[in-house]
Structure 1
Amino acid sequence: MYKKIPKAMKNLQENYILGCTRVSLHELAVTHDVSDKQVKDIFGLKMYYHREHRVQCICIVHVKSKELNEGRPSGDKYSLEDIQNIIDSDPAYKQLSAKEEQYYINQLNEYRALKMSGACANNVSAARDAVAVMDRISKELHALRDRAGHVNDQVQLTWIVTDNVHEFWEDQMSLALDDVACQFEEWVCNQKKTDVSLGRATGKMDLQMNYQNYEKAIVLVYGVKLDGWPEGLPFIAPSHMHTILEVRTLRDALVTGACHWKKLTQRELEDLHMDIQRRSDAGEVIGMVRKKCSDTGKTHKCKAPAAEGATDGTMAKGDSKRTQKSRRGQAA
């Protein structure tokens, strides 16, 4: 078993490491002719070494406020400034023992835990609590979007669920939350940039991109070509790309204009048509070939439209009468 290191020994080790680090950082500062503070900021020294702080004044204020204001009417309670002055004038709070410090900390932690998870008294207070919390979360998320929300950020998408909510997606939607997050990020990066730019190039805003039959359904029909496709990127729909990096690469090219729709001349269209015909004659499959129906080449009988209100019996009689008339006409 490992023995617990005494606190004094632990502090001695930390001071020794800190002293050695300071000497090394000072030598680096002298070597590169910079200040010690610049070297410390570069290495993030203040992020790795923290001294233990004594009990916060807020813990004492909380306990003292509860002690002084409990049972008092709303207009006769001590203010925060009065409570702080009382604490500052009391010498008993100047030097607290470790047991007393822990007592004040525990009192504040219990109060915070009660505020965080305590049940509401009635439905009205529960509804107000839900509205206030959702409003605070909405403001925090919008502020986070403004600070760190851009297409090139490296923030990992995260789900926050309660209880077993994630099982709903797997049981009912047959989707894992990680897959949903990846699809959402692809959608955010793409945002139908290709379809929008294609609609502007052709004047048909409802036109959708066809990656499988791109040359036949898009280039030859509308006379436009997607020029500047990122090198090394497969020519497939963004929803079928494997990594977020590929989607971001395509989106950046579309936003900057490096990849854009180009109007082809009549000569270029004729050359493309001849090239497609040549490749097709050589046995190459151009685009996606639709699967043939199982009854291809067979004759299909056309049924006469039924009149409104006609039953199966009347339809059969009408068909027999038309057949008899046709036979009489042929005999004549």
Structure 2
Amino acid sequence: MVPEANNLLWAARNPSRPVLVPRAPLNVMQKGHSNVQRASRKISAQQRKEAEDALHMAIQKALSEHEEKTNHLAIEHGITVEKVKKLMGGERHYKGNQNAQLANALVHAKAQEVNADQPRCTKYSLNKICEMVKDDEDMQNLNHVDRREYIQKLNEHRVLQHMSIHATNTVAAHNVQSTLDTIFKMLDNLAVRTGIYACLFASCGHVYDTAEATWFRTDNIMDFWEDVVQMEADEITQKLEQWACMTGLDERETVQNMQCVCTRLLNSGLRTIVKRRDIHINYTNFDTAIKEKLGINLRGWPEDMAFQSPTSINDLNALLKLRNSLKDSSCRWFHMSPHQREEYNLQLTACRKKGEVIGKPWKKCSDAGVPRKCKGKENKCQSKRVRGSGSSVQAPKSAEFVDSSDEEYTSEDEA
């Protein structure tokens, strides 16, 4: 159990994860140097803006001249402007590759080499590092293996940056706010393009976190919560924050927590694809209870891990690997095609004919084969209705005359 005093920071609550190294505060000399650099960058930005404006004007002038020449050619030869543009090559749009490039990998390696021991405000700039890469003969004459190694190191660095955690709560709160702003803009644009409805609730996960709870909606989707759930968005966000800070799941990456997370992800995925809320994974008889009966299989289970319940796995690294594969959908459920299901059933039939035991059979009762009396059999015989000898049982007939008592007769005479 982590001590209470050690729960202040998100990094302290996750000791097994890498931590992004925070920047040290600037001293007086570094602040002065930083102000000079900031002023220099401002002047350079103004110069670049002026150059870009001049280039923009020149391009607009060239485009207008090109449009006039295109119209002149269309009129001169009696064809449409679209045909002239098509014959001249038209417009082509190319999308660059987003994978790690060798040039970026070399710049990253050189920056790690020359700026590792340099204090802040004295590190080499990007232009200077690019010049160092060009002047380095060893980096210019690389074989195929060395190129792949440089690119692999850059990919590992990017993954580490994305998966590492912030060292302070302030930086984490800034990252939360900037990322949520980006997500909000994307959802707004998506709603305009496609007409979808979307809502999002976000909250911090610990009482010491400084990120504020918030919510987002497109159009009038929040009317759903007020009309159907009878709760306003602010109330939902407040309850979410209270649950996350007081009764939420423990976020530390321990074996017990990762076992619960993997079990929950697997069961929720199966319930989603089966559309049943009362189903659980039968790991022991998975081949018959899930694959044969339901026609559903699991794809992407880690190859170096035997298929079993996450509660039976005690290796934290294996559980983290399984958790990550379930979250990024590399390990997911899928419906078997009719052909796959038929082939699998044929395989099971062949195995059964050979006498192989598939799965784990049910245990036999200790009194198996012994005849047993049904409960309530004796009472059942006694409760049967006894019918008469005829085809139907008639109700008893009433008497034709009813004698009255002397007391009743005497009272009538006296009256």
What is the TM-score normalised by the length of structure 2? 0.32
The structure in which a higher percent of residues are helix is 1
Q: Quick one: higher RCO (CA 8 Å, sep 6+), 1 or 2?
A: 2
What is the TM-score normalised by the length of structure 1? 0.39
